[in-house]
Structure 1
């Protein structure tokens, strides 16, 4: 006698949990990306860069009675980049709405990681601001061991050149060390983690660990960068009709979700330091490299 085993009933999948912490929490997102920027990139005046305020003595005895004039404003430039996700499956038992939903969920799950990777490396695309591949950065050497000393030296160097808070970019493997050092808090609202001095943390799983010009860190360390405030722009996510992209020869849905992104920080005041990942720092922990 044949035994009939009923097939399992497919139901709507559960919603994912909270999006992980990362650059989407630390960056400012001022609005959608316009067609002009998509075609030619963006530029803006870096009006808030540098510390150019100096004392002036108007008396005749002053060594420099004439008022000094600093150079004019530089401009920040950034080119856009495309991020896409694809999804392929058979048409049997699957509708166009199914694959449209699935490819969008795949996009939503991975887009922050992809943006972080672009910020770290530039993806090999000319004109995309990045931390470790082509952007110049000043290397900071802390005076004492430990993650706390490294980040404090990084902030000091940065604020010697920039009068506002910035964003510290570091691979999430360093989070425990800086947390142990007491440098991670939630002051400032909007869910952004910050140092006691107010600089935002961006713990990026999509970040690498290499330093300026791709320099590898010493054993037991990762590189961290600090930049001025980061801005992100994006277009709406485009999803072509799966019916129009269907591979009819092999009865395969070929779904796509894609958008255009651009990012920038408000000036080129960028510093880098090696951060130990050991928490806490002890006498046997690796010394901070020179």
Structure 2
């Protein structure tokens, strides 16, 4: 099953409406939650921030798509105190709510997108939410299917350098997920088999730790993308991994307010056996 972006927005919106209505009326909640989980499984993790904002503003979305007239009569009061679903409430604009539901999650993530929402809390703008995520992410990850963990990491690592708020402690929690059973082999297989996409940059971000150092020969020989093979060979020859930490503003002329963003690179010695 596939949707275009507009169709996805409408289906997600309707799933949120149905879930809110089911919780308000206290009937068919399991069916509505299942519908919400199913439709969010189609959402692209690479556009996580955009979809999070969309889930955070259901009433705005209703007005935007002119659907308000069709559902307004059945739309229950939407308040911050209504605990609709822990997965949906991870998108709440209320930091206390995000922290509360994150601490309360005791089960596995039902799909990769919702697990990515959990990981995104490591880059939250509220310190207490980051602290809760640092404790909860490893617990949730160990209960979640490895394929979902890999999909979420794959989408997030492709633009990890844009996570400007993430601290060293939260970054360590994120990268340590690669050491969980079955995760590294699946990641290595995907790096070698993906014919397109930002695989080389993802491999660079994974290079912050040594989890794939012993796979570099296999990647250099078997990866489909030439850029990935070249990067693996370079790591082996130079015995050094380089990745993009982020970008820092550098003034060239403060009087005329001229400047540019300069890439900040990190390096690590390859620990290949």
| Shared fold (TM-score, shorter chain, > 0.5) | no
Which is richer in helix?
2
TM-score, normalized by length of structure 2? 0.24
Structure with greater strand percent: 1
Give the structure with higher Rg (CA): 1
**Whose RCO is larger (CA < 8 A, sep 6+)?**
1
